[in-house]
Amino acid sequence: MAKRWRLEVSSIDPGGPRRTVDVVAPNWMAAIKEGRAMLGEVAEIPKGASCQVAPGGRVSVLAPAERRSYQLVPIVGDAPIMPSSPGVVVAPSTSQPPPADLIPLRARDTEPTEDAPIYYHERIYAAAPGMPLEQIEKLARAKLDDLRKSMAGGPRGQFHNLAVYDHEWKDKPERPALLVLQWKDWRDEVIASWPLADSAAHGIQIDFDPTSDADHDERLSEAFEACEDLFFIDDARAGLEYATHLLDELVPSELVIGALFVRGGKLVVEAAVGSPELLGSALPLNQGLLAVALTQPESVSKFDQAHADPNFDPDADGGSEHRPEGMLYLPLVANGTIFGLLRATNRDPGPRYGARDVEIAELIRKQTAAFLAARCA
């Protein structure tokens, strides 16, 4: 049965306009798509968006890539219909402003070890409810800059990881971080990611249309094109990092790592999305699900309920604190030689990996293995 909804679209940048439109749709997803179409936008759920559905039916969608937020509210009773013109501008709310700074939760500093030859500095914060996204990012970048200045003049091999959550926590967060900023002195650039938005976007896609041939074809097409770009990269580590982010983008995952095979028979983690604490760590080849995956080294291995598998080993498979539910192992093997590994993980109760995910992962595995074979020869 169709319902009436009111959609408010606003820019997350200071001073941006707000537009409001009323729509009739059977559910909130259809309402957002219809409202966006009426406002002259693309009629789809924004890619990379995070979503929260309140008990009363109010839906909040944050789309960092588009720098917009969407508020959808069911219209009850005889509430007046708002004009559907894209030009309607609504005055900003005068509600109580949130605190002006981030809330520190945790700090960690580690020295290099034989298995992790980097200086790792971690700072974890929470943002107060209602704090604008642009303010969160501005404050986070300022704190990262302060951290970098405090370590200036120190030894090489500095890795700074700063995360901001939308809630306070002690032992384990309830949701992925809202914003993550990472800086490595050997690259000297700040990398920003939005794990919560990515995770929510994947959930929307899977729940709404899990069998979409069009979506699968689009992901395959993106994978083919992106893998072609891989061969324009000269450095093996840079290419591995590229492949790690590509796998994370095209196959819905919470944690993705990329490792290179080094002398001494170790896989050393060189790239990580969602689990930066694993950077520089060595994965034992003869333990856990990794050892099982390496018995079929030229194919993707999929594990459901990984943490309950009798072969699961926390040291080899990512740590018991991650509680992996679905895992994909992508051995990067070409011509019988192992060059590295890609691994994707979803934690309980995250989405599972299906046959289509494995197909895309296999394409990325083959192309990345061929790339490393060419660069490491």
Return the pLDDT at 117.
58
Looking at per-residue confidence, does 112 or 248 come out higher? 248
Average pLDDT over residues 255-270: 85
Looking at per-residue confidence, does 216 or 71 come out higher? 71
- Assess whether pLDDT exceeds 80 at residue 95: no
Alpha-carbon gap, residue 154 to 272, rounded angstroms: 24
Alpha-carbon gap, residue 278 to 120, rounded angstroms: 10
Alpha-carbon gap, residue 12 to 66, rounded angstroms: 9
CB of 297 closer than 8 Å to CB of 321: no
- Assess whether pLDDT exceeds 60 at residue 242: yes
Sheet containing strand 103-110, strands side by side: 103-110, 119-126, 158-165, 179-184, 190-193
Average pLDDT over residues 252-274: 84
Its pTM stands at 0.49
Q: How many CA atoms lie within 13 A of 36 on its CB side?
A: 19
Return the pLDDT at 214.
46
pLDDT band of 119, cuts 50, 70, 90: confident
Looking at per-residue confidence, does 59 or 343 come out higher? 343
Tell me the fold of 210-375: Beta-Lactamase (3.30.450)
Question: For the chain, what are the domain ranges?
Answer: 3-74, 103-193, 210-375
CA angle 232, 236, 242 (to 5 degrees): 65
